[in-house]
Amino acid sequence: MIRHKILDLLAERPGEFVSGEQISQELNLTRAAVWKQMKGLKEAGYEIEAQTKNGYRLLASPLALDSWALARELETENLGRELYFYEDISSTNEKAKELARQRAAHGAVVIARRQSAGHGRMQRLWESPAGGLWMTVVLKPNLSLAEASKLTLVTGVAVVDALRDLTGLKPGIKWPNDILFEGKKLAGILAEVVGEWTTIQTMVIGIGVNANIERKDLSPELPAASLHDLLGRKLDLNRLAASILKYLEQGLKEFEQDGFAPLRELWLERALGIGRECAIEKGGQVYRGIIRGIAPDGELLVEAEGKEHHFSAGEVRLRAVNGEYF
Ligand code: BT5
């Protein structure tokens, strides 16, 4: 892509000017074509200083999602190295499943500016206006199916750590897959198995973060929050995506090498509601008890009437009894 080659040339000399003539010669473009490319880059959010005598220099890359800027931020070995970038898509999870069945490698990432039919668990709608981070990672982990089902929990840890690094906020995890800040949902995770779990073990992990959207862009009745409103500024979405991918790759490696136990500890350190009363809805019935944590297999542990009960993620809804969302 010509645009990426221009950016590569500018980025090779940080802070310095590169002449229009040099760019046109190296990339075999007319000066007018170079000018047009620069205009396009500025429109995409790149800050480029142009001086008639000296040429062009790159001052800043966009905060909005951008495939070149994201690739530059990556610190991973595999995750995000194969990148499918869309302006508009129905759902990055659906696209990732389709690509995983065809050609996508371990670590491939599907990312979109906007989703028209983003979804959560049980086909619940996930509102995905422009400005959020909507992405799905294809994983072919070296894990059994039982272990792989815990990847939602591992991803929760990665998202919390990336958000803590980049925003200074300390969100927590509501079992199994919600990232909350002060009782409101900032991010959600949806892990799905692709096809039959036979020889090729493939999962897609969808991550949605209400990043650079305003809270008013989401339905008012949702117990949701946006980073933009909490911070009063926009975040660099490329850095946020790269940071989540870095922590997820680390977590996955640890999981493959040492099993779930160390990650379970990390998850518990970031979990919300431990020791608190909760209500669990399962098959139309509501159980009350105290959240005691998660079992080694990732199931929720709830103590009720002196007994310990286990719940698996697919079958229940968890609520705080005092009406708080957590
Ligand atoms: C989730 O489901 O929390 C998983 C969300 C995963 C979204 C990502 S975005 C990229 C990828 N592509 C997809 O199509 N999906 C993934 P669940 O726990 O079922 O929660 C869904 C519920 O969250 C909805 O029923 C709403 O109540 C609420 N909700 C919808 N949109 C929201 C938003 N933007 N922020 C906060 N809450 C929302």
The string of pLDDT tens digits covering residues 74-86 is 999 999 999 999 9
Question: Is ligand 1 within 6 A of the CB of residue 184?
Answer: no
Given a cut of 90, whether residue 317 has pLDDT beyond it is no
- The closest-lying atom of ligand 1 relative to the alpha carbon of residue 118 is 14
Give the Å distance between the CA of 291 and the centre of ligand 1.
23
How many angstroms does the Cα of residue 114 sit away from the middle of ligand 1? 13
CA angle 178, 139, 175 (to 5 degrees): 20
How would residue 197 be classed by pLDDT, with cut points 50, 70 and 90? low
> Which residues touch 265 (CB under 8 Å, ≥6 apart)?
none
- Is the model's pLDDT at 199 over the cut of 70? no
- Using a pLDDT cut of 90, give the percent of the chain over it: 86
Q: How confident is the model at residue 198 (pLDDT cuts 50, 70, 90)?
A: low
3-state secondary structure of 256: helix
- For the segment 224-235, the average pLDDT, to the nearest whole number, is 97
**287-303 mean pLDDT:** 95
**Is residue 43 a contact partner of residue 25, using CB atoms and an 8 Å limit?**
no
Q: Which of 186 and 15 is assigned the larger pLDDT?
A: 186
**60 CA to middle of ligand 1, Å?**
32
Question: From the alpha carbon of 91, which atom of ligand 1 is closest?
Answer: 14
Instruction: Report pTM.
Output: 0.95
- Residue 188 CA to ligand 1 center (angstroms) comes to 5
Q: Indicate whether 169 pLDDT > 80.
A: yes
174 lines ligand 1 (CB under 6 A): no
**Is the peptide bond between 176 and the residue preceding it cis, with omega within 30 degrees of 0?**
yes
Q: Which of 65, 110, 126, 178 to mutate to test the pocket of ligand 1 (most atoms within 8 A of CB)?
A: 126
